[in-house]
Structure 1
Amino acid sequence: MDTVESWDNDIAESVAPAGAEAGDGPDTAEEAAGDGPPDGDTSGARSGDDRARAARPQHGEAPFQLDEVFFSRTDARGVIRAGNNVFRRVADYDWDAMLGAPHKVIRHPDMPKGLFWLFWDRIKRGETIGAYVRNRARDGLSYWVFAVAMPCGDGYLSARIKPTSELRDQVEELYAEQVRQERDQGLSPQDSAAWMQERIAAMGFPDYPRFAAHALSEELMARDAGLGLGQDQCIGGFRTMLDCAESLKSETDMLVREFAMTEIIPHNMRVIASRLEPNGGPISTLSTNYGGMSREMSRWFQTNVVGESSNFGSIEGTVSESMFIECMVRLLNECARQLDTERHALGPVDLKAERGYLDGLATDYRAKARARQDQLAEETRRILDACKKMNRHILGLSTTRVMCKIEGARLYEGRESLNDIIGELNGIQQRIRASLARIEDLSGTIRGLLT
C-alpha cells in the first residue's frame, strides 16, 4: 500500500463481513457445490463449479442459502489466507484467484466508509465486532451478510450468516443515507462513523456494540425461524436477561428522581420546625437528624448506584456483551460443522488446520463467555446487597418520620403543614421501597437464568 490510510482501509474492508440474500440458485450447499470429489481430486470440483456458475442468475443477488455459513481468514494486512467453500462459491472466485488476494476484491461500492473505519478501529484494538455488510461477487452479483470479525493468530477471521430480519432493511436504508452524507457533506471515515453511531443511538442503542449484539441475536433467531428450528434457549435466556437489565436501568433512573426529592424535603422540614419551635425543640432536632441521614444516604446512593461504573449502570452492557459472545461462539461452531460437510477439495487450504482455528476460537470465546457470566452473577449479587442497604437507610428515615408525626400531634398550630411534609415523605419512601423490590426481583431473575 502507498499510505497508512490506504492500508487501514484495506484491512477494514478485508475483515468486513460479506453478506448475501439467496437468488435463484440451488436450495442447499450440497446442490450448489455439486456431488463433490474425493479430497485431492479437483476434476470433480471443477465440474461442480461449472454447474454452480451455470445456476447463478445474471443479475441481482448471488446464491447464498439460509442454512449456509461461511468464513474467511486473513493476515494482518487483509490478504486472504483461507476460507470455506461456501465463501469461495458465493464470491464466485477460484481458489487460485482468491488466496493471496486482498479481501477488498469483494468490496461493494454502496458500502459507507464510516462502517469500515469503525470496524478497523475495534479490531486493531483486539476487540470483536459485528456488522451488516453488502459485498460484490466476481460476476457483479451482490450479497448481504451479517458477520462477526475477531483477531485470529496474527490476522483476523470473519464468520458470516445470511441476514433476514427486518433490521437488515433498516440498516440498508441507514447505509444509503450514510453514503449520501459522505458524498454530499464530505464526511471523513471517522466523522461518518460518528454520524452512524448517532443514528444508532437514536434507534435506542447506547453504543455500537449493544446494537451489534442485538442485531446478531435478531439474525440468529430469524434464521432459526426460517429454517423451522425451535428457539435457541441460550439466546432466549439472554434476551430475557437484557429485558430485565433494561427495566433495572429504568427503575434506577426512577430512584435517582426520588432521591433528589429526599434532598429537598429536609430543608422544608427545618423551615417548618423553626416556625413551630422558635427556640428549638424535638421537631427541630428530628428534622436536623433526618437531614443528616438523608444526606448520608444520598452520598451512598451517588457512590454505589448512580453512574455507568456502578453495577446498576453497567449490568446492561455486561448482559449485552455476554449475549454477543455466546452468539459468536454458536456461529463459529456452525462454521466448523459446515467445513466438515464440504466435499470439495479446498485447493491449498488445509481443512484440518482451519478446523483447528475455528475450534480454538470457539474454546477461547466460550471461556470469555463464562467469565462474563461470572461477572454478571457478581454484579447481581452486589445489586441485591445494595438494595438491602438502601432498605436499611429507608427504615431509619421512616423511624424518624414517624417520630416527627408523633411530636407534631402534640402541636395545636401549624401541624397541618408538618403533616403535609410527613405525608410527602411517606409517599417517597413507599415508592423507593417498591422500586427496590422490583430491582430485587429483576436481579433475581437474571441470577436464575445464569444457573
Structure 2
Amino acid sequence: MASQAEIARSPSGEVPFAISELFYSRTDPRGVILAGNEIFRRVSGYDWAELLGAPHRLVRHPDTPRGVFRTLWEALGKGNPMAAYVKNRAKSGQYYWVFAVMLPIAGGFLSVRLKPTAPLFTRIREIYDDLIARERDGLDPEASARWLHDVAQAQGFSSYTSFMASALGQELAARDARLERAADARTRVLTEMNEALEETTREQGRLLRSFDALQSIPNNMRIVASRMEPTGGPISAISENYKISSQAISVRLHGFAGARDSLIDRVSRDVAKALFLLGCGRLLGEMNASFLAAAPVPGIDWEVERALLLGLERDCARDGREAMLHAVEHSATLNRASAEVRRHMLGLDTIRVLGRVECGRMRDANGGLAATIDQLDAFHAEIKGRLETIMRLSENVGLAMDRYLRSSAATVV
C-alpha cells in the first residue's frame, strides 16, 4: 500500500501508490486482459470482474499521446520489447503515471510497470503536453510517432528505442536509490554503454557532415588550376585524385555510419535490447516473488503466472546475452571499418601534401591555391580528430561489453 507520506504528497486527482509497488498485467494478442496483480486492480479502481476479459485500453488516459501507443505496438509487433511513460485513468476519473515495460510473449503481451521518479520524467511530461496539443490540432498517430522519433534525436539519441532503453536504466537506478538498495552493476554498465554509443553516433554524424563539406574543395582546386596551368596539368591531376579518393572514403563512411541499419545502428539496437531485457528480467523476478503471497483471484492461477514469469526471466537472461554477443560482433566490425577509414585518410593526406608541394613550386601568386590547401589542412585535422574520438568511444564500448558479458555469464540458465 502507499505510505501516508506518499498520499500526502500526491497531487490532487492523482492515485497514490508506493515506489516499491509494481503493476502487472498480461493480455491476449488483441490487448484483452487475462491476468493482473492486486496493485493494478487497486490503483485502477476496478473490480476483478471488470478487469479480466476487458480491453487494456480501459485504463487509457487521453493525455497519453496516441503516437506513444503506435510506437509501442510497432515494436511489439516486430517481437521486440519496448517501454514508455504512460498516464493511465482510474475508474474514479483520477490518474496515475507509470513507466511501462512491455514484452511480446506466446499468446499475447506482458507488462510490468513501476512508479517513474527519474529526472527525465519531468521532461517527458512537457513533451507529452506538446504532442497532445499537436494531435488535437490534427496530427495523426503515425505522424505523432515520427515526431517522437524526432524528439529522441533532439535529446541526442539515434532512435526512440535507445531513448527509452536509457530511460529504463535511469528509472531502475532511481528506484534502487529511493528504496535504498545497492545499485545494480550490470544495469549501470549497460546504461553507460548505451550513452557511449549515442555519443559515438553523434560524433559519426559530425564526421559525415565534415566529409560532405570536404567534397567541394577538389572542385575549387580545379577552378584555381584552370587559371594557373594548361588542361591536365599537375594541380588538375592532384585535384582529380583527391576527389576520387575522398568520395571512396565517403561511401565507406556512409556505409557503416550514415544509413539506416548501418553498423552503428545495429550495435545501438542490440545494446538497447540487452538493456530492456536486463531490466525486464529484474522486474519479472521481483514480480514473481510477490505472487507467493498473492490472495486467490477467480480466473487467475498464480502458479501458472509464476511459471510463466520464471520462464520469461530465463529467456530475458539468455536473449539479453545473445543481443550483447551480436553487439560485440557488430562493434568489432565497426572498429575495423573505422581503422580502415583512418588508413585511407593517410593516403588522402599524401595527395594533400603533393598539392602543398606543387603550390610552392608554382609560386602561387594570388594565394588562391594556397588558401584551398589551407582549407584541406583544416578539414583533415578535424576529420582525424573525430576519427580518433570515434575509435576511443568504440574501444570504451567494447570494454564495457566485456564487463557486462563477464558479469552476466552466471545468470544464464
TM-score range normalised by the length of the shorter chain: 0.7 to 0.9
- C-alpha distance in 2 between matches for 1:88 and 1:448: 44
Structure 1 letter corresponding to 2:22: V
**108-117 vs 394-403, which deviates more?**
108-117
Residue 240 in 1 paired to residue 192 in 2?
A: yes
- C-alpha distance in 2 between matches for 1:88 and 1:298: 56
1:276-295 aligned within 5 A: 276-278=228-230, 281-295=233-247
Aligned length: 399
Q: Once the two structures are superposed, what CA deviation does each residue of 1:214-233 show, in whole Å capped at 9, x if it has no partner?
A: 33222222211211223322
**Unaligned 5+ runs, structure 1:** 1-20, 28-56
Q: 2:356 aligns with which of 384, 405, 409?
A: 405
Name the residue aligned to 1:73.
26
Residue 263 in 1 paired to residue 215 in 2?
A: yes
Q: 1:370 aligns with which of 321, 335, 339?
A: 321
Residue 253 in 1 paired to residue 205 in 2?
A: yes
Residue 223 in 1 paired to residue 203 in 2?
A: no
Q: 2:380 aligns with which of 419, 429, 435?
A: 429
Aligned residues of 1:181 and 1:187 also touching (Cα < 8 A): yes
1:52-451 aligned within 5 A: 60-95=13-48, 98-108=51-61, 110-138=63-91, 142-175=95-128, 185=137, 207-278=159-230, 281-340=233-292, 342-412=293-363, 414=365, 416-451=367-402
- Distance 1:74-1:400 versus aligned 2 partners, 3 A rule: closer
Name the residue aligned to 1:11.
none
- C-alpha distance in 1 between matches for 2:141 and 2:127: 15
- Distance 1:343-1:364 versus aligned 2 partners, 3 A rule: closer
Aligned residues of 1:274 and 1:280 also touching (Cα < 8 A): no
Structure 1 letter corresponding to 2:247: R
**259-268 vs 327-336, which deviates more?**
259-268
Aligned residues of 1:245 and 1:316 also touching (Cα < 8 A): yes
Aligned residues of 1:80 and 1:99 also touching (Cα < 8 A): yes
Aligned residues of 2:208 and 2:250 also touching (Cα < 8 A): no
Aligned residues of 1:270 and 1:284 also touching (Cα < 8 A): yes
Question: Over the residues paired in the alignment, what is the CA RMSD in angstroms?
Answer: 3.4
What is the Cα deviation at residue 351 of structure 1? Answer: 1.9
Aligned residues of 1:408 and 1:415 also touching (Cα < 8 A): no
- C-alpha distance in 2 between matches for 1:396 and 1:26: 65
- C-alpha distance in 1 between matches for 2:65 and 2:3: 24
- C-alpha distance in 2 between matches for 1:102 and 1:287: 66
Q: Tell me, what secondary structure is at the counterpart of 1:309? A: coil
Structure (1 or 2) with the larger CA radius of gyration: 1
Q: Tell me, what secondary structure is at the counterpart of 1:151? A: strand
What is the Cα deviation at residue 441 of structure 1? Answer: 0.3
Q: Tell me, what secondary structure is at the counterpart of 1:374? A: helix
- Distance 1:185-1:60 versus aligned 2 partners, 3 A rule: closer
- C-alpha distance in 2 between matches for 1:412 and 1:178: 61
Q: Once the two structures are superposed, what CA deviation does each residue of 1:20-49 show, in whole Å capped at 9, x if it has no partner?
A: x9463899xxxxxxxxxxxxxxxxxxxxxx
- Distance 1:211-1:414 versus aligned 2 partners, 3 A rule: same
Aligned residues of 1:69 and 1:338 also touching (Cα < 8 A): no
- C-alpha distance in 1 between matches for 2:61 and 2:112: 18
What is the Cα deviation at residue 389 of structure 1? Answer: 1.4
Q: Tell me, what secondary structure is at the counterpart of 1:149? A: strand
- TM-score norm. by structure 2 comes to 0.81
Aligned residues of 2:266 and 2:327 also touching (Cα < 8 A): no
- C-alpha distance in 2 between matches for 1:105 and 1:297: 54
What is the Cα deviation at residue 282 of structure 1? Answer: 4.4
Aligned residues of 1:76 and 1:156 also touching (Cα < 8 A): yes
- Distance 1:112-1:438 versus aligned 2 partners, 3 A rule: closer
What is the Cα deviation at residue 209 of structure 1? Answer: 2.7
- C-alpha distance in 2 between matches for 1:449 and 1:241: 6
- TM-score norm. by structure 1 comes to 0.75
**291-300 vs 411-420, which deviates more?**
411-420
Q: Once the two structures are superposed, what CA deviation does each residue of 1:251-284 show, in whole Å capped at 9, x if it has no partner?
A: 2222223323432222333344444433755444
Q: Tell me, what secondary structure is at the counterpart of 1:335? A: helix
Residue 24 in 1 paired to residue 4 in 2?
A: yes
